[in-house]
């Protein structure tokens, strides 16, 4: 054994062995020891996650009635007929707005014409007084037709007399209203 050398610490090689590479890593004792506070933080994190999951579950429950019908709504909303109706409605709105603009212009012209119009002639105070005197005389003969016997006239003539009476009453009411306005 003369050819062999003896080493005090064992045999060494150029490539490190598995045991040598493992021992080169830092030991667990060199890492700081974790405190017990991480358990409290972990519990708070778990509670917050559970709260978020519960809130999300409530939101999904609230949205479920609205989105349960989505396949049917998708079919309805992607129908080309709806698009045609929408474009037709938009064209109708545009046409109506153009007509409204034309009518507003006409209204402005009419209002300008009214502003430039001559003032109305003053009403004479005696005009309606003379008519009131004549109306008093007519009141006496209103319900009486001289020289006409209702039994001798035809049904059509009676209707015509009734129509004329109603027309006279309306005209007298209008005259009274105009007299009050003057």
Question: Looking at the structure, do residues 58 and 76 belong to the same domain, yes or no?
Answer: no
Can you give the residue range of the structural domain that contains 77? 70-115
The answer to whether the beta carbons of residues 142 and 179 sit under 8 Å apart is: no
The answer to whether the beta carbons of residues 70 and 64 sit under 8 Å apart is: no
Number of structural domains (the chain) is 3
Domain membership flag for residue 4: no
For the chain, how far is it from start to end, CA to CA, in angstroms? 152
Question: Looking at the structure, do residues 131 and 167 belong to the same domain, yes or no?
Answer: yes
pLDDT value for 147: 65
pLDDT value for 161: 85
Question: Looking at the structure, do residues 48 and 84 belong to the same domain, yes or no?
Answer: no
Domain membership flag for residue 32: no
Domain membership flag for residue 19: no
Question: Looking at the structure, do residues 54 and 75 belong to the same domain, yes or no?
Answer: no
Domain membership flag for residue 98: yes
Each of the 182 residues of the chain gets a pLDDT tens digit; together they read 455 555 555 555 555 555 555 555 556 566 666 666 677 788 889 999 999 999 999 998 888 887 777 777 777 767 777 778 888 889 999 999 999 999 999 999 888 888 777 666 655 555 555 656 666 556 555 556 666 677 778 888 888 888 988 999 999 999 999 888 87
- pLDDT tens for 31-79 read 666 666 677 788 889 999 999 999 999 998 888 887 777 777 777 767 7
**How is residue 126 written in tokens?**
């005696």
Question: Looking at the structure, do residues 62 and 96 belong to the same domain, yes or no?
Answer: no
Burial of 161 (0-12, 13-18, 19+ CB in 10 A): middle
pLDDT value for 115: 79
Distance CA 108, CA 105 (A): 5
pLDDT value for 2: 53
SS3 content of the chain, % helix, strand, coil (to 5): 70, 0, 30
Phi/psi at 14 (nearest 5 deg)? -70, -40
Question: Looking at the structure, do residues 131 and 166 belong to the same domain, yes or no?
Answer: yes
Domain membership flag for residue 25: no
Question: Looking at the structure, do residues 89 and 58 belong to the same domain, yes or no?
Answer: no
Report which of 120, 121, 122, 138 is spatially closest to residue 130, judged by C-alpha positions: 138
Question: Looking at the structure, do residues 48 and 80 belong to the same domain, yes or no?
Answer: no
pLDDT value for 133: 61
Question: Looking at the structure, do residues 58 and 92 belong to the same domain, yes or no?
Answer: no
Distance CA 163, CA 70 (A): 67
Cite the DSSP H helix spans in 68-154.
70-77, 80-115, 127-141
Domain membership flag for residue 9: no
Domain membership flag for residue 108: yes
Domain membership flag for residue 29: no
Please state the pTM of the whole predicted model.
0.26
């Amino acid at each position: 054994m003369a050819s062999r050398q003896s080493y005090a610490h064992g045999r060494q090689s150029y490539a490190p062995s598995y045991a040598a590479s493992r021992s080169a890593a830092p030991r667990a004792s060199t890492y700081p020891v974790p405190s017990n506070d991480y358990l409290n933080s972990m519990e708070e994190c778990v509670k917050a996650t559970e709260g978020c999951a519960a809130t999300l579950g409530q939101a999904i429950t609230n949205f479920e009635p609205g989105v349960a019908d989505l396949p049917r709504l998708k079919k309805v909303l992607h129908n080309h007929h709806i698009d045609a109706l929408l474009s037709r409605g938009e064209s109708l709105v545009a046409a109506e707005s153009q007509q409204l603009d034309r009518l507003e212009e006409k209204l402005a012209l009419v209002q300008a014409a009214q502003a430039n119009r001559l003032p109305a002639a003053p009403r004479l105070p005696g005009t309606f007084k003379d008519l009131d005197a004549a109306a008093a005389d007519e009141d006496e003969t209103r319900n009486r037709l001289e020289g006409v016997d209702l039994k001798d006239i035809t049904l059509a003539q009676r209707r015509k007399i009734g129509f004329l009476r109603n027309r006279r009453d309306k005209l007298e009411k209008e005259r009274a209203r105009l007299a009050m306005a003057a």
